[in-house]
Amino acid sequence: MARINLLPWREELRREQRRRFLSVIGLSLLLAAGVVGLVQWYFNQRIEYQGLRNARLEKEIATLNEKIAEIRNIEAEKERLVKIIEAIQTLETNRPLEVRLFDEVITTLPEGVFLQEIDQKGTTVTVRGIAQSQSRVSSFMRNVEASKWVTNPRLEVVQTVTEEGERLSQFTLRVEQIIPKKEEEATTTGAAAAAGGAS
């Protein structure tokens, strides 16, 4: 005998399909939410990691800036010390030059020539004096030319004056002081020391 199903099977089928559909949608939403949450967590982790890296880099940059500032201070101090050393060396080198200049002026001064004033600007030395005659001034210039510490005599002024009934030649002479190089200075100093020891 055949069975007849009088239950509303079409409605039951629709309900079943709707339930499956809603389940699929719910699972899809849950899966999508999980994926979005995972992606968001991943990027948050990356942002946090990058923030830590940036903080570390900023700390390293600050440390390097401090070291650079220290290096600059050291370089400035070094330049200052180098200038001081150069100034001291210049003073040490030039100290005997004044003595040599006066010694050489006296050595080259012939008899009958009297100096009134010596003025120095750089290596140029201006000598003013009185000579008994112009030939004495010429002799003074020849002696200067032959000197190893002063050279290039240039007669600026020479004029005849009368003092106490005597005719004299008043003159102004410019000469150049010879600054020896360090090697020559060392050789000259060594030779002078050797001569002193021998005597």
How high does pLDDT run on average in the chain?
Answer: 82
> Looking at the domain assignment, is residue 3 inside a domain?
no
- Among 59, 75, 100, residue at a domain's last position: 100
Highest mean pLDDT pick, 57-66, 130-139, 165-174: 57-66
* Residue 90 resides in a domain: yes
Letter for the amino acid at 104? E
**Domain extent for 139:** 109-188
Give the CA dihedral 120, 123, 124, 126, nearest 10 degrees.
Answer: 30
Given pLDDT bands bounded at 50, 70 and 90, which one contains residue 41? very high
pLDDT at position 193 over 50: no
How far apart, in Å, are the Cα atoms of 60 and each of 55, 73, 183, 191?
9, 20, 50, 60
pLDDT digits (tens, 9 = 90+) for 118-169: 888 878 888 899 898 888 888 888 888 888 888 888 888 888 888 777 888 8
Place of tokens 């849950």: 30
Contact between 133 and 98 (Cβ < 8 Å)? no
Domain boundary among 100, 128, 161: 100
| 2, part of any domain | no
Residue 3: predicted pLDDT: 62
Whether 85 and 54 share a structural domain? yes
Is the separation of the CB atoms in 167 and 121 below 8 Å?
Answer: no
* Amino acid at site 57: L
Residue that is last in its domain, among 67, 100, 133: 100
Tokens found for residue 157 = 């002024």
Q: Do 92 and 113 fall within a single domain?
A: no
Question: Are 79 and 123 within one domain?
Answer: no
CATH number at residue 169: 3.30.70.2830
